[in-house]
Chains A and B, each alone.
Chain A
Amino acid sequence: MLRNIRSRKVAKLVFFTFWLIAAFGAWQHVSTQKPWSSIVWPPIFNEQTQTPFYHEALIPNAGQGSTHSVSAAALPSGDLVAFWFGGSREGAKDVRIFQSYFQQAEQAWTTPRAVLDVPTLAAAVGRYIGKLGNPLVFIDQQQRMWLYVVSVSYGGWAGSSLNVMFSDDLGQSWSAPKKLITSPFINVSTLVRNTMYAMQDGSMLLPVYHEFAAQFPELLRISPEGEVMEKVRMFGNGGGIQPSLAQGKGREAYAFMRSGSHTKDWKVIRLKSEDEGQTWSDFTLTDLPNPNSAQVVAKVDENLWIWVGNHNPKNRQDLTLAVSHDLEKPWQVVYQFEHGKQNEAYSYPTIVQAKNGMWHLLYTANRKNIKHVQFNRAWLQQVISKRQMP
């Protein structure tokens, strides 16, 4: 009897001790949480040249049967770095993530080299990996290069999760990949496509999207160490996927989404945020048709934004440039980079501005190559003027 009372007292003491430890740990976590910060939009570099410049080339193929989903970033030197996935076909086990540098002075891409493959990732994250998907590169304010890579263990792309690796020497060497846990249901499904943004407090804002059971855009707030700090659901099912963010005329942020397959409208979707991306509203179907294909928006100056994507509701044969002087008004098509034939496809554009003001557009050309188009502000002005002429 006495022993029973004594053991109950000990059990109570143990429970309350651990309860206090847990409460202290919880309080520590809560007190170190940083409030939502403001987005550091990428600087816009002005170029003085009045001569229009336009040039297109293919990045050398490293022998892969299929290449897709390029992501690029401007280096502090003014050069570019690009990543994409390539292998015998999309979703194959031999798909690897390739990296190549564009040297402005030589106007040439380096021979692509593989930086990640399935066995390396599987060993690093301690689990079976079936395939690799979209990469996303970003260079933060400390010149640290971030590389996100989508991977799937079993099933299709809806079963994706994210992995991240870092480079402190601008892509020469990489840390071991780390898996991010971003979803409560066996960690499916979070994917990346368009670039992320730094925030004033050193954290990052990563646009992601969900595809399992429902399709919707999300944002992850990531700590400087690469941990998830917060998650924002931008819209519910049918809100589109692959958000591309752009700053409006003031501090407001806009997100443009690929239509996704959970729609009958086949149009680019737009959302707006008045509080630096913390909440989103104003769901709008834009006048930009979209065949459930990747698209991207970039701010050129305080009065001009460009959009690149497939400007039709059915296929990926064209790759079109449209401009807007106000993100809430209709877009104007000004140029077609590609007008392919049947069975041709041009897709997954990404836009980067280098330090010299040159705009670089990279995209998948027929799943065989990554194509690189350079144009300057004078060329852009020229195509806009031509389109506006009666």
Chain B
Amino acid sequence: MTLGLSIFFYWLRLAWLSRVRPDASLKVKVATLFVITPLVIYPFPYGPLWWLRGLTGDLSMTTLLLLLAAVYHQLSGKVLIAPQERKFILWSVATLGFVFYPLALGVGQVDPYVWGYANPYMLGVLLGLSLLMFLRQYYVIASLLLAAVLAWSIGLLQSVNLWDYLLDPFIFFYALFRLVR
């Protein structure tokens, strides 16, 4: 499933377009996405997606949905995520990644990555949090958590580990970067 990377290329293209032609119409923006589609929709050998996928693997559902929101913003100019919720997402991702990655990469004896293999407690926590966030009107973060569990349960990505649907190093470093800046 290379959808996340494809959307990243779409976002990159739109971000570039908004710099060189800030007044580009929606039609021009959509047309430019059509033009790059053959290059970024399938990882054929020596294509940009093929090279990048070698480095990154597949992106998590969290990154994919946030990229979709960014593409929507580039196309329509409308903001999908309220600033308060955006900050909350960035803090959550940064805190989670800050604890998770060192442990998963060998600091200490506990490996939280093992909880991603159909662990009922982890699934319960994620589904419970998703419900709680929805009731507290944090709709985006509720949807991100729900999308991760849904995509994992139908095996949308190559991984069978729930963490790979929830988090990836790119969204973690992005969150760190945005918070530090």
Contacts and interface: CB of A to CB of B under 8 A. Distances in A.
Interface string B139-168: 100110010011011100111110110011
Contacts of B150: 18, 21-22, 25
Given A23-B127, A25-B150, A129-B54, 18 more contacts: A15-B134, A22-B130, A26-B120, A26-B153, A30-B118, A30-B120, A127-B50, A128-B50, A128-B54, A153-B54, A154-B55, A179-B158, A183-B104, A185-B101, A210-B105, A213-B106, A228-B117, A229-B117
A214 B105 contact: yes
Contacts of B160: 181, 227-229
A362 to B, nearest CB: 31
A325 interface: no
Contact of A235 (B107, B109, B158): B109
B4 interface: no
B123 A30 contact: yes
Interface of A: 11, 15, 18-19, 21-23, 25-26, 28-30, 33, 119, 122-123, 126-130, 153-154, 179, 181, 183-187, 210, 212-216, 227-233, 235-237
30 contacts: A15-B142, A18-B146, A19-B127, A19-B131, A25-B153, A29-B123, A29-B152, A122-B45, A126-B2, A126-B43, A127-B53, A127-B54, A128-B53, A153-B54, A181-B160, A184-B100, A184-B101, A184-B116, A184-B161, A186-B57, A187-B57, A210-B105, A213-B106, A216-B106, A228-B161, A230-B117, A231-B114, A231-B117, A236-B106, A236-B107
B25 interface: no
A213 B105 contact: yes
Interface residues of B, number: 50
The B contact surface, by secondary structure, is helix
Name the residue among A11, A33, A181, A216 with the largest chain B CB count within 10 angstroms.
A181
A142 B117 CA distance: 26
Contact of B104 (A129, A181, A184, A237): A184
A154 B131 CA distance: 40
B108 interface: yes
A197 B106 CA distance: 24
A242 B168 CA distance: 27
Contacts of A21: 150
Interface in B87-121: 100-101, 104-111, 113-114, 116-118, 120
B57 A25 contact: no
Contacts of A235: 109
B146 A22 contact: yes
Nearest to B55: A154
